[in-house]
Amino acid sequence: MTALRIANTVLAVLICAITIKWALVFFKPDSVEPLPVKTAVPIERTKSKPEPEAVKNLPLFTPVKKPEPAPIVKPVAPPINIDDLELKGIFANTENPKLSIAIIKVKGSSEVPAQVGDEIKPGVTLNSVGANYVILSYKGEPTRLGFPGRIARKGTLGSATGSATPTAIVPAPDDNNAPAFSMPPQRSRQASIPPRQLAPKPNVRPDNKRKSRPIVVAPALITAQPKAEVAAVSTPVETTVKVTEEMQAEPAPATDN
């Protein structure tokens, strides 16, 4: 009986296996692609570490804390257009440079004398005055302006006592409208005057027996004069010489022994 039961069980299993196999052959299901499997990534690895500066500006303990504003970049000032400016003259003061004056002509206007610190045109000021150039300032940017094809001469203004005496002025080249400044007159050398000379005395031989009378000779100036004046000056000398000769020709008086 036991062997019969085992044989029936084995036959039942075989019949089921054959049935399932043929069922799969005739009733095969459609092939379906498997879904891709997504790998889970930890959330901690996806977060980037904050930079130290960002953490510093975060309101960790005070909710009203705000990050520092970004620094303001100042725009660079454009260079000065010196094409419409022309340097005409310089009046430099070596003792006090702030009192120096420069004459600058703006295109389309007349010449204007400006002192250090004055505004030449909107936004352009006179910063300093040199020997043959000036320094202009436009929004803090210095620009040099010189003479157009000419070198200025250095001059001074004023003295230790505060008196202003101009010593050198540089006018504008080839411009009839330039302001005229006059140089202080220089003292011309005085013509040398020859010293006075006495007319030559005549040679008079001394007389032992008679004392000669004193002869007074009038002095005469020897200068570059016309012939008529020379003759007039020499007349007293000739008269004196003639009187002396007549006195010598007179006989000596007899003396008693």
Give how many domains the chain has, as a whole number: 1
Query: What's the CATH code of the domain at 174?
Result: 2.30.30.830
Average pLDDT over all residues of the chain: 65
pLDDT in tens, 51-106: 777 666 666 666 666 667 778 877 765 656 667 788 888 888 888 888 888 888 88
Residues 6 or more apart in contact with residue 228 via CB below 8 angstroms: none
Full residue range of the structural domain in which residue 88 is found: 78-181
- The verdict on residue 144 lying in a domain is yes
Distance CA 244, CA 203 (A): 10
- The verdict on residue 212 lying in a domain is no
| 3-state SS, one letter per residue, for 205-251 | CCCCCCCCCCCCCCCECCCCCCHHHHHHHHHHHHHHHHHHHHHHHCC
pLDDT in tens, 106-124: 877 778 788 888 888 887 8
